[in-house]
Structure 1
Amino acid sequence: MKAPLIELSAIGHAFQGNRVLSDVSLTIETGQIITLIGPNGAGKTTLVKIVLSLLKPDTGTVTRAPDLRVGYMPQKLHIDPTLPLTLRRFLSLAEPSLQLCLNALAEVGIEKLIDMPLQSLSGGEMQRALLARAILRKPNLLVLDEPVQGVDVIGQEGLYRLIGQLRDRLDCGVLMVSHDLHLVMSATDEVICLNQHVCCHGHPDQVSTNPAFIELFGSRTAPYTHHHDHSHDSGDNSGSVYSGDGHHD
């Protein structure tokens, strides 16, 4: 059995005396999709920075696999509308090989847009472009911060399907940060509900009925049924999961 890609144990962190994370533990395995949810100020960004090695925790330990290669997709990219930047040029800043850039764009389904200005891409196309950049180096861990930000519901479903396909093709682990409870919970193996500490975690349909989850997100939920077309070592992940009522910041 492979060692975990990354293991965080009893992580704590504070900024200027304000504690933002306390006793947080998290393990990401190859092939696993974990989604991190929680209100604003819950410490999600801080935890992601620790996973990305951009921040060192005050307490606790972080253990990374020796061959860990991380692909990161930021929440949003702000581009000056007057900046003449094509998708080809944007990807070449990370990877000079045109063929590798084309391969990554083909994997996310937008290779025909390679010479388009970034500013002309739709919300869904832009998120796919950011995803292509994240997979350029064939990572074994993808960290995706709000990957369906600014995308309509149909586009969200397509993006979550694509993330699942990339997980299978790259044989990687995925850590997603999301507020989109309705659809994301059908696209993940495990949900971790964070509010400076881990309030609850587990399979989506377990978490959705947990009192700590309901306290944070409310009980107005609607069932969303999803059937995986692939199997996991941990068993069948099909069944009903539940949505929160809209976006939560």
Structure 2
Amino acid sequence: MTETALLRLDKISLKHQQQSLLSNISLSLSAKQIMTIIGPNGAGKSTLIKVALGLTKADSGTIYRRPGLRIGYMPQRLSLNPLMPLSVSRFLAMAKSNTTQIEAALARTGIQHLRNRPLHDISGGETQRVLLSRALLSSPDLFVLDEPAQGVDISGQTELYELINALRDDLGCAVLMVSHDLHWVMAQTDTVICLNQHICCHGHPEQVSSDPEYLALFGRRHAEAVALYQHDHDHQHDIHGDVVCEHKHHD
């Protein structure tokens, strides 16, 4: 644990009606780092995110947030009354942001054309980009994203995760994320935390995917598929998704 951490959790535990939700959780997140929390349903992933944000109070343990830390939070889903006539722009304005800030956020997420559309009249992928735009309004040092690709189709998931990666690079911010997309996690994340009320294993994706506790949770067949994915993606794609061949030049 370093003092340069943006966010640090130390020995966090939480119970509800005598059932352990989180047990002795410690983690440290640094600038520009992408840390992804994975685990089965009911593992406590969203609960851990809420504790880190201060939305839920732990029974024990300590939380450190760097003084002045700006956090952009993207919840798992948006629940609104479909009868409420709320446009994308009006929804973002509720975050007490001005028109310039809203337009900049919409531009970064590629949805300027949705500014006047009713929220109930856009797709799942577009809704997630609206939520990401809202998280951007705070000019965050840290994105906290709970299942950002929830309700998004396969092609939309890839685009959304690529956007998150690009925002990390452009803004120099860190990302703490919950995700079920293990292929993307293993290909793009700096650090993986495998959670099942306690931390089963953590580290670099290749290290975690061969850990016995990871294999016990997700199965060897899935781990082998991930390893194949990592191997097959040891190259670059152009904007159309085609493989870019690297030509060697000789003097």
TM-score range, shorter chain: 0.7 to 0.9
Partner of 1:130 in structure 2?
A: 131
Cα deviation 1:70-127 (Å, max 9, x = unaligned): 1100101122222211101110101340110010010111112101111121111111
The structure that has the greater radius of gyration is: 2
The number of aligned residues is 229
Shift of 1:184: 2.8
- Give 1:224's aligned amino acid: Y
- Percent of aligned pairs with the same amino acid: 54
Alpha-carbon distance between aligned partners in 1 of 2:185 and 2:78, rounded to the nearest angstrom = 21
Equivalent position of 1:152 in the other structure:
153
Contact 1:156 1:183 (C-alpha < 8 Å) held by counterparts: no
Q: What RMSD, in angstroms, separates the aligned Cα atoms of the two structures?
A: 1.6
**Residues 12 and 22 in structure 1, CA contact (< 8 A), matched pair in contact too:** yes
TM-score (norm 1): 0.87
1:203 & 1:96 partners in 2: Cα distance?
A: 37
Aligned pairs for 1:34-73 within 5 A: 34-73=35-74
Deviating beyond 6 angstroms after TM superposition, the runs of 4 or more aligned structure 1 residues are none
Separation in structure 2 between the aligned mates of residue 67 and residue 96 of structure 1, nearest angstrom: 19
The residue matched to 1:200 in structure 2 has which SS? strand
Q: Distance in 2 between matches of 1:130 and 1:213?
A: 31
1:224 aligned counterpart, secondary structure: helix
Q: Deviations over 1:16-72 (max 9, x none)?
A: 221111111111100000000111221112211111111222121111100211110
More helix, by proportion: 2
**2:140 equivalent in structure 1:** 139
What CA distance in whole angstroms lies between the structure 2 residues aligned with 1:195 and 1:2? 27
Q: Which runs of 5+ in 2 are unaligned?
A: 237-251
Deviations 1:159-214 (A, max 9, x none): 11111111112211100001121223222111100001100111112111211011
Distance, in Å, in 2 between the alignment partners of 1:187 and 1:161 is 9
Partners of 1:181 and 1:100 in 2: CA distance: 33
Cα contact 1:95–1:136 (8 A) shared by 2: no
Gap regions ≥5 residues in structure 1: 230-249
